């Protein structure tokens, strides 16, 4: 049985993807194909390259990649996220999609034409980085004439590329949010507005999943809570590990 997994965006909450992947592994569930948006694209890229969830978590917690962010030189974003590529290039063992151990598809949004642009071949890190460009916060990245930002703007859980290519589809959503948050700053206002907008496009894709994973405890974190990486990882792991369907899927794969 071919397993496909779609990993959503969610900023720091996307670290929960790693805990989810660890729990799946322990039940003998490994994807033959991964799709990802934003944080999901980043986690998916490292995992598809053969790194373990624990190794990826270590990269996140031990590498001061936030220092790589610099003010943008134009008015399209507050920060330039493309400089983060140099940091992750040192950690990523491959340079192209073709070198990955598992097929990966990365979703981005073309800001000019308002359409999804998927990447699954060629250079790896620039498309992955483009997929994480939260509009307004990070300046877009130009690739092949496309002005690209966060894929979550149009598709925060890119399940569609898995349809017809997977026997069993798992969707993982980490962009949970509290129903009545305290909004006291510009940052919290921007984050809340972005969450509301992209969560709508996730709900319509849930019926395409055979298993939908959404740890509710993630709602207490913000997209910037990188210092709580281990806690977020553990929530993804424990929640997934507790799912009754997991053992059944593992037995089905083993038979």
pLDDT for 71? 46
What SS3 state is found at 139?
Answer: coil
Look up the pTM and report it.
Answer: 0.89
Distinct helix (H) and strand (E) counts, the chain? 8, 11
How far apart CA 207 and CA 37 sit, in angstroms, is 18
pLDDT for 49? 97
Task: Outline where 27-131 has alpha helix (H).
Answer: 39-48, 53-62, 84-89, 125-131
Question: pLDDT tens string for the chain (255 positions)?
Answer: 899 999 999 888 999 999 999 999 999 999 999 999 999 999 999 999 999 999 999 988 876 555 544 444 554 544 556 556 766 778 899 999 999 999 999 999 999 999 999 999 999 989 999 998 887 777 888 999 999 999 999 999 999 999 999 999 999 999 886 655 566 666 666 666 667 777 778 889 999 999 999 999 998 888 778 889 999 999 999 999 999 888 777 777 766
The domains located in the chain, with CATH, are 3-246 (3.40.1090.10)
How far apart CA 254 and CA 14 sit, in angstroms, is 29
Question: Active-site residue numbers?
Answer: 38, 150
Cβ atoms of residues 162 and 33 within 8 Å:
yes
């Amino acid at each position: 049985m071919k397993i496909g997994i779609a990993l959503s965006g969610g900023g720091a909450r996307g670290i929960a993807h790693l805990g989810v992947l660890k729990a799946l592994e322990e039940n003998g569930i490994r994807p033959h194909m991964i799709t990802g948006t934003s944080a999901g694209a980043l986690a998916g890229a490292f995992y598809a390259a053969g790194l373990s969830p624990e190794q990826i978590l270590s990269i996140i917690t031990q590498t001061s990649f936030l220092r790589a962010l610099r003010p943008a030189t134009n008015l399209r974003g507050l920060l330039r996220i493309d400089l983060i590529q140099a940091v992750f290039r040192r950690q990523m063992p491959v340079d192209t999609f073709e070198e990955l151990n598992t097929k990966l598809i990365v979703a981005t949004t073309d800001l000019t034409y308002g359409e999804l642009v998927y990447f699954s071949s060629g250079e790896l890190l620039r498309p992955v980085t483009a997929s994480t460009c939260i509009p307004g916060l990070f300046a877009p990245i130009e690739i092949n004439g496309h002005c690209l930002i966060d894929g979550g703007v149009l598709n925060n859980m890119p399940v569609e590329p898995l349809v017809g290519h997977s026997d069993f589809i798992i969707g993982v959503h980490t962009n949970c949010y509290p129903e009545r948050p305290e909004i006291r700053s510009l940052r919290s206002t921007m984050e809340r507005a972005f969450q509301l907008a992209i969560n709508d496009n996730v709900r319509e894709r849930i019926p395409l999943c055979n298993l939908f994973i959404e740890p509710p405890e993630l709602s207490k974190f913000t997209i910037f809570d990188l210092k709580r990486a281990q806690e977020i990882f553990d929530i993804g792991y424990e929640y997934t590990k507790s799912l009754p369907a997991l053992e059944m899927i593992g037995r089905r794969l083993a038979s």
